[in-house]
């Protein structure tokens, strides 16, 4: 969290993440290049620039797969959450590797003629009606433009100025970029391949990516559909017992047709907040109380449980809900209060040790 503009709020975790990322990219390029030299000897060998073009292209595609796997993996297993913390760094790095691939392609294949390289790229082949001769470069260029748009707006500055809803919608374009890149490879590099192995690897990557997202989405839908609550006469609903919630943790309450609510238990009290973090929509019910504040599991944004406001000097706020405890049952009013509204936490007797 930050109240003023900083390019990157560096900390130990981010430095380590980026160092591992840079090392992995460097190692991939070296191994790909060395393997290309080792296994493809003349007459089937590739020129060095072509080998580098392929190394950068495959590296960017592998990185995009990893970017797309992180989200559903975190939904399916909380142990992947540390990968989510700096996913944007991975996304920006993916764009830079893809840009290097494109720059090399432009220079190597289009830079030595008497036509502007960009013009050459876009006009040399216009066989859009043919699958086998499709100008696959256009697909890669479109995907690169989307990745650029995402990298350029990845900073929290843009998130705050565009609003989380617009920002999220913009960044969901990554799925279009992924589809474009898959077809870029299918109609480009794979057209020259006689071996089925590259096609099989790409197909496996697509199946894993789509499978993870569909599995995570199905699980979320089942969670939404499986919620059972009992209504009371005064508009409150029984959402369970305080004993179901570990200390300093929360329970996600799903009500039909509504967004989820995070019900937190802490120090003999219960508070209810919107489950959606104001930053990137992280699931607050999967976070915990740290230093007296509800802490989002994605990027550590914090809120006071009684008001839904971030502690000063931060200004984020989320909706709160009226809640009370009868016996050990938690009763919740499902009508959200305006974001940042102070609500008295419901107190209950902690059992004696």
Partner 1 sequence: MTRGQRRAHRRIWVALAVMLPVGIAAGLLAGPTDEGRRAHGREASASIHDSETRRAREAVSADEHRADAAEHAPNAGGADAGTVAGDAATGAGGAP
Phi, psi of 227 (to 5 degrees): -75, 135
C-beta of 140: minimal distance to partner 1 in Å?
11
From the list 199, 192, 146, 189, the residue with the least C-alpha distance to 55 is: 189
Distance from C-alpha of 178 to C-alpha of 66, rounded to nearest angstrom: 12
Structure tokens at 222: 């089942």
Q: Give whichever of 217 and 292 is closer to partner 1, judged by the CB atom.
A: 217
Match 């565009």 to its residue by tokens.
162
Q: Give whichever of 31 and 124 is closer to partner 1, judged by the CB atom.
A: 124
C-beta of 1: minimal distance to partner 1 in Å?
20
C-beta of 259: minimal distance to partner 1 in Å?
5
Q: Give whichever of 24 and 339 is closer to partner 1, judged by the CB atom.
A: 339
Q: 170 exposed, middle or buried (CB, 10 Å; 0-12, 13-18, 19+)?
A: middle
Q: 250 exposed, middle or buried (CB, 10 Å; 0-12, 13-18, 19+)?
A: buried
Q: Give whichever of 113 and 235 is closer to partner 1, judged by the CB atom.
A: 113
Neighbouring C-beta atoms of residue 31, cutoff 10 Å: 11
Q: Give whichever of 334 and 345 is closer to partner 1, judged by the CB atom.
A: 334
- DSSP H helical ranges for the chain: 12-39, 48-76, 81-85, 87-110, 117-123, 136-152, 156-162, 164-171, 174-187, 197-225
Secondary structure of 227-279 as H, E, C letters? CCCEECCCCCEEEEEHHHCCCCEEEEECCCCCCCEEEEEECCEEEEEECECCC
According to DSSP, the β-strands at 323-326 and 237-241 are unpaired
Q: Give whichever of 42 and 338 is closer to partner 1, judged by the CB atom.
A: 42
Could you list the residues that contact partner 1 (CB under 8 A)?
Answer: 42-47, 49-50, 108-110, 112-115, 120-121, 124-125, 127, 131-133, 135-137, 168, 172, 175, 178-179, 182-183, 186-194, 199, 202-203, 206-207, 210-211, 213-214, 217-218, 220-221, 224, 258-260, 276, 281, 283
C-beta of 350: minimal distance to partner 1 in Å?
33
Beta carbons within 8 Å of 85's beta carbon, 6+ residues apart: 13, 17, 298, 299, 300
C-beta of 152: minimal distance to partner 1 in Å?
22
Q: Give whichever of 215 and 347 is closer to partner 1, judged by the CB atom.
A: 215
Go through 201-216 and write b for each residue having 16 or more CB atoms within 10 A of its CB, e for each that does not.
Answer: ebeebeeebeebbeeb
Q: If DSSP codes are grouped into helix, strand and coil, which group holds residue 311?
A: coil
Q: Give whichever of 258 and 328 is closer to partner 1, judged by the CB atom.
A: 258
C-beta of 185: minimal distance to partner 1 in Å?
9
Q: Give whichever of 136 and 236 is closer to partner 1, judged by the CB atom.
A: 136
C-beta of 154: minimal distance to partner 1 in Å?
18
C-beta of 341: minimal distance to partner 1 in Å?
19
C-beta of 303: minimal distance to partner 1 in Å?
17
């Amino acid at each position: 969290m930050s109240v003023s503009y900083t390019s990157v709020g560096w900390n130990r975790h981010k430095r380590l993440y980026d160092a591992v990322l840079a090392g992995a990219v460097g190692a991939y390029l070296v191994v790909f290049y060395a393997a290309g030299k080792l296994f493809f000897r003349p007459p089937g060998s590739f020129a060095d620039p072509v080998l580098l073009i392929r190394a950068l292209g495959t590296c960017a595609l592998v990185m995009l797969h990893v970017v797309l796997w992180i989200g559903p993996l975190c939904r399916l297993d909380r142990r992947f959450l540390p990968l989510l913390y700096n996913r944007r760094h991975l996304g920006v790095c993916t764009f830079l590797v893809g840009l290097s691939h494109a720059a090399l392609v432009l220079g190597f294949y289009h830079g030595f003629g008497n036509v502007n390289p960009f013009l050459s790229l876009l006009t040399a082949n216009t066989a859009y009606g043919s699958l086998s001769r499709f100008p696959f470069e256009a697909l890669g260029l479109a995907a690169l433009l989307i990745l650029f748009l995402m990298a350029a707006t990845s900073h929290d500055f843009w998130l705050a100025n565009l609003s989380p809803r617009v920002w999220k919608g913009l960044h969901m374009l990554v799925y279009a970029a992924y589809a474009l890149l898959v077809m870029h490879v299918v109609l480009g590099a794979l057209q020259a391949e006689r071996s089925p192995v590259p096609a099989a690897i790409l197909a496996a990557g697509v199946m894993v990516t789509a499978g993870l997202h569909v599995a995570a989405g199905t699980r979320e839908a089942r969670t939404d559909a499986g919620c059972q609550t009992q209504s009371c006469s005064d508009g409150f609903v029984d959402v369970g017992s305080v004993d179901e919630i570990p200390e300093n943790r929360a329970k996600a309450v799903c009500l039909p047709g509504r967004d989820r609510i995070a019900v937190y238990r802490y120090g003999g009290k219960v508070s209810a907040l919107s489950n959606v973090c104001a930053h990137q929509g992280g699931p607050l019910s999967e976070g915990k109380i740290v230093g007296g504040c509800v802490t989002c599991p994605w990027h550590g944004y914090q809120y006071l449980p009684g008001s839904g406001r971030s502690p000063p000097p931060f200004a984020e706020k989320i909706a709160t809900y009226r809640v009370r405890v009868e016996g050990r049952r938690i009763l919740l009013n499902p009508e959200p209060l305006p974001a940042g509204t102070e609500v008295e936490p419901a107190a209950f007797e902690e059992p004696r040790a």
